[in-house]
Amino acid sequence: MPPRALDPAGVALVDKPAGPSSFAVVAQIRRVTGARTGHAGTLDPFATGLLLLLSGRATKLASCLVGLDKRYLTEIDLTGRTTTGDPEGEVVERNVPPAEAELNERLERLRGEVELPIPAASAVKIGGERAYKLARRGVEVEMPVRRSTVHALDVISYTGETVTLDLCVSSGTYVRSLATALGGHCTTLRRTEVGPFSVDDAVAPEAFTAERLLSEAEVLARVDAARAGLGA
């Protein structure tokens, strides 16, 4: 049974590396603090970047943090779609990458309010079972559609085959679904911001110490200031 200590309390900003699951990082931080530890949103194993991890009494802040907008940098290979929308899946469709003008038209259709199918390799439950478990067994199901808001979607570079995007999206948006809609799949994905929190202020899991925890008061003050700045 994991530790249930309420102290130390606070929020850790952790820069997840590619490879381990988010839950492995949660367990790593829990071993350092000895306190109950939760999260405010996970990242796929291949993805990197900002995780907000909640320690001790601060786990009650989860409801204040999970709905924050998120910002990502992603590289998308436009030569083919995969079963998962990322490099871990099998290629199911080869495509001729679009010309830059066509790419810009596709991107324009993905800005604002969008409805996209949830990836089959996700933790969403279908008939009481996680979708990714069904996918691993080869069970094909019709995935539900999720409405999301793409606040910003900017091209950093385009090689003619891969495009690098900087995007800001509402909570719950699957960047892999956006990649699939563009005719490709994510090769890299890095979360750079969660609401007012930046990966620039995060540390690698192995460098984390309890002294790095942000206090509950500071976390709430940042969130309130960010919402006030947006007129929320």
Could you count the other beta carbons within 10 Å of the beta carbon of residue 15?
A: 20
Cα–Cα distance for residue pair 143/54, rounded to 1 Å = 31
Question: Which residues lie across from 11 on neighbouring strands?
Answer: 54, 214
CA 19 to chain centre: 14
* Helix runs in the chain, H state only: 22-33, 62-65, 100-109, 131-136, 175-181, 216-229
Of 44, 69, 77, 86, catalytic: 44
Active site residue 44: yes
Q: Output the DSSP codes for 67-109.
A: TS-EEEEEEEETTEEESSSSTTSPEEEE-PPPPHHHHHHHHHH
Q: What is the dihedral of CA 55, 58, 63, 67, to 10 degrees?
A: -60
| Contact by Cβ (8 Å): 95, 219 | no
Q: Distances from the Cα of 193 to the Cαs of 28, 30, 169, 208, in angstroms? A: 22, 23, 10, 19
Active site residues: 44
